[in-house]
A and B are shown apart, each in its own frame.
Chain A
Amino acid sequence: MSNIALPSIRRQLLTITMSLMLIITFFTYIIANNYSKSAAKLSYDRLLASAALQIFENTHIDYHEVIVDLPSATFETLSMASTDRLVYQITQNKGEHLTGYKGLYSHIIDTAGNNWQRSEYDPRDNLQIKFWEGYYKGENYRFIMLSDKLYEVGKAFDINILIGQTTQARDQLAYEMNLKVLQMVTLIFVIAIVLILLGVRQILQPIYAINRKIRRRSPMDLRPIDMSIPKEMADLIATINHFMAQLEVSLDHLKRFTGEVAHQIRTPLAGLKSQAQNALEEADTKIRTEQLKRVLYSTDLLDSTVTQLLNQATLAHRFHSHPFITLSLPELVKSVCRDVAVSAIQRGVIITYQGDENLMIKGDAFALSQMLRNILENAIKFSPTDKEINVSTELHSTEFGYGYIARLCVADQGVGVPNSEKQHVFERFYKSKGDPRAGSGLGLSIAKEVAEHHNATIQLLDNTPSGLIFEINFKLKLTEGEQ
């Protein structure tokens, strides 16, 4: 056996599911990572926005001057980010300092450029909130810029509130959320792997069980395997069971056949022995010659029996190894007829052939020749002298008109076979009782095997006024062109 061993099902299942799990885990992590980052960003941005809004609420104009009265709670919410530093500046118009960190506004406006990220939060007219994240004095800050206008009679003031906070807390939050997710994902991954391992084991269990069951059996135990199995494996078991059943039938056949063969060979051998002994003791030359002739005859008979057995073995082998080919039935018939014509003429029997040319069937030429030869030899054997054996081939439509059959007939004019015996004719080692012309009793059984192998029917009909007709019907699957 040169089959390359395929990777084990177990390993394949594990590889596929593990890879899948890894991919899923990886993507889950990426998604969760992004989500936690944006969630942390969002929540801390809201704190910044609320601080900026609070400041704006407490900004008013007093005698043409903008007054920013920072409410005490302004940085209270921002101090929830307990370790983050804070910078801010409030300016009016085009960056004029009002309060806070001087120079912060212009510095951030220059650094951030157009990279501000606009917020959708816009509850009032003119109010605009923008975010930017970047470095300021060597540390990463998240900045919010709230811009709005304050009005006095005939005059508008542009107010810009800029607050920046370092990002430790939000980074920490994102990190913690991430860690939680990672823990969850790892947990799920581990559980999944355990379940997969158990599942694969469970799935493969029946295979191991069947394997064990078959391995434990004695080679002679061909009973069907009887166990509960998953649906997917039912076919396999059915096939195995079918195979074993066939094996059992074959074994039975073989046993019976061997018995029969032994019996069939032993009888002529016994005869041979006694005749040979008789001949040895016979003084009369004439009688001894007669006896020795009988020894020869018996030897011939034995020889023909063994030949037929070999033929049968050859055919059985061919049935397994030779595919059918398309062949011309008339050609084959004519060829066989020619082969047996000489021996027929020696017995005073004439073989005629009549049939459609171009009748093609699918089959094994050697086997079919063997079949026809056996039938013809049988016919010749039972044919009276000076009588004809008519061989014919013809195309027939089937009984119900659904297709065609190729019919091969071999008709002799012998005594025929009574109906009661017709069914036994094809049995192995069947011989007409008391008929000295009987052969090995294998020829016709071989013919029947060949016919059955070709999915053809073989039957015996009575010829008129007397004799026997072998009718063999091949089912044809004609293509249109062949009709």
Chain B
Amino acid sequence: MRTQLVKTFVFLFSCSFFNTYTLAQEPLIFNALKTQQTELTIFGGADKMEIAPFLKAFQKISPHVQINYHELSTRGVYSSFLKDINNPPDILLSSAMNLQIKLVNDGYAQAYESEETKKLPRWAKWRNEVFGFTYETAVIAFNKDFLANEPAPSSRNELLDLIRRRSNKIKGRIGIYDITKVGIGYLLWAHDREQSSSYGRMLESFGYHDTRVFRRSADILQAISKGEITVGYNILSSYARTWAAKHPNIIVVQPKDYTSVIMRSAIIPKKSKNVKGAQQFLDYLLSTKGQTDMANFTNFEPINNEVRTTQPHLLDTSEGQLRPVPLGIQILVINDEMKRQIILQEWENALFEYQ
């Protein structure tokens, strides 16, 4: 056990090393469209090329704002903020709900209430300090060629069934996030562990079939489209759908037994220097205009149901099989360091025991 713990710490350490590296990178600067009056600094977990059109759309509404966007990993958003809490960005955007909640719970966020935040459902905000602005499902992606004429499995049990039936062919060709490094991967895995009765079998099956781990969604999807792997599990729908649109040999399935949902969320730090700008940005983020822009310019899936209904592939947020990761103190369990060790160990034991 102890050796495994040490292993975990090594993972954690390398993780933070990675973060300092990313922080050192220069931010992406969007110059104000008109005379610059204010600066808005954003720490974000999203790919800068992905979010750029959206930020530009915001600048059309607020042309006097210069935006400094720091692209970081989800854990990087958290740790970079904590590294210099007296000099924070004006807004934190991250899909790592557990870390965002931890920041709020530890009193680093400031509350904000406006017409836009009031429109958010109760489960999409906490203490008026953290606001969910996307609603993204975790999906399973398949290589179409591998499935041949067989219909894609529509639930976890059907997936396990497929793996069992085609065990030899699938060995070494399952891809998942490296949960020790990818925050969203850990979050979804921990959520699965609590939700699913098939969790144990899945862990065993994944371990037996030499599952490969990836650090980026794009890497998994690329591997699927190239046919290096045949199944990608728990991939964020925003990426999967974008890839599927470009690569027709990728099939995206939203599991019917239940579908995990995560929300990208926004926090305005207490010591933010441009509170007003941050609030304006947040209002835009949650407004129908902002949500529509988000749907049009990015692969993020908006949380606003009215906007969602205009997108045929998006489910209504009230859909029963959708199980969002809670945005509240319940999630602190996932953050617990010992819990994290237990989950990571379980995961590593299963996946790397035979290697």
Q: Which A residues have a C-beta under 8 Å from some C-beta of B? A: 62-63, 65, 67-72, 74-76, 78-79, 82-88, 90, 98-100, 137-139
Contacts and interface: CB of A to CB of B under 8 A. Distances in A.
A79 B105 contact: no
B329 A70 contact: no
Given A71-B333, A88-B332, 16 more contacts: A62-B1, A68-B336, A69-B339, A70-B333, A70-B338, A75-B332, A75-B333, A79-B330, A82-B122, A82-B328, A83-B127, A84-B329, A85-B329, A86-B105, A90-B338, A98-B338
B337 interface: yes
Contacts of A82: 122, 126, 328
B338 A99 contact: yes
Given A67-B338, A67-B342, A98-B338, A85 B333 contact: no
B288 to A, nearest CB: 26
A69 B122 CA distance: 29
B339 A86 contact: no
Residue picked from B1, B193, B328, most chain A C-beta under 10 Å: B328
Contacts of A79: 326, 328-330
Interface of B: 1, 104-107, 122, 126-127, 193-194, 326, 328-330, 332-333, 336-339, 342
Given A63-B1, A78-B329, A79-B326, A100 B336 contact: yes
Nearest to A72: B194
Contacts of A100: 336-337
Contacts of B105: 85-87
Contacts of A75: 329-330, 332-333
B107 A68 contact: no
A107 B338 CA distance: 21
Contacts, number: 59
Given A79-B328, A82-B328, A86-B105, A72 B338 contact: no
Given A69-B342, A70-B339, A99-B337, A139 B107 contact: yes
B1 A72 contact: no
7 shortest interchain CB distances as A-B pairs: A99-B338, A72-B194, A70-B333, A86-B329, A79-B328, A75-B329, A70-B339
A99 B107 contact: no
Nearest to A85: B105
A72 B342 CA distance: 13
Nearest to B339: A70
Nearest to A66: B338
Contacts of B126: 82-83
Contacts of A138: 107
A70 B338 CA distance: 8
B199 to A, nearest CB: 11
Nearest to A71: B333
B36 to A, nearest CB: 36
28 contacts: A62-B1, A65-B1, A68-B336, A68-B339, A69-B339, A69-B342, A71-B333, A74-B333, A75-B329, A75-B330, A75-B332, A75-B333, A76-B330, A79-B326, A79-B329, A79-B330, A82-B122, A82-B126, A83-B127, A84-B329, A85-B104, A85-B105, A85-B107, A85-B127, A86-B105, A98-B338, A99-B336, A99-B337
A72 B333 contact: yes
Contacts of B127: 83, 85
Contacts of B339: 68-70, 99
A69 B1 CA distance: 15
Contacts of A69: 338-339, 342
Contacts of B337: 99-100
A70 B332 CA distance: 10
A356 to B, nearest CB: 110
Contacts of B122: 82
A55 to B, nearest CB: 10
A99 to B, nearest CB: 4
Nearest to B122: A82
A286 to B, nearest CB: 136
Nearest to B5: A65
Interface centre among A62, A67, A138, A139, by most chain B C-beta atoms within 10 angstroms, is A67
A63 to B, nearest CB: 6
Contacts of A62: 1
A83 B105 CA distance: 10
B136 to A, nearest CB: 21
A376 B248 CA distance: 153
Contacts of A63: 1
A69 B341 CA distance: 10
A50 B62 CA distance: 50
Nearest to B337: A99
Given A62-B1, A79-B326, A86 B338 contact: no
Contacts of B330: 72, 75-76, 79
Contacts of A86: 105, 329, 332
A293 B291 CA distance: 141
A138 B108 CA distance: 12
A182 B76 CA distance: 51
Nearest to B343: A69
Contacts of B342: 67, 69
A110 B332 CA distance: 25
A90 B326 CA distance: 23
A79 B193 CA distance: 20
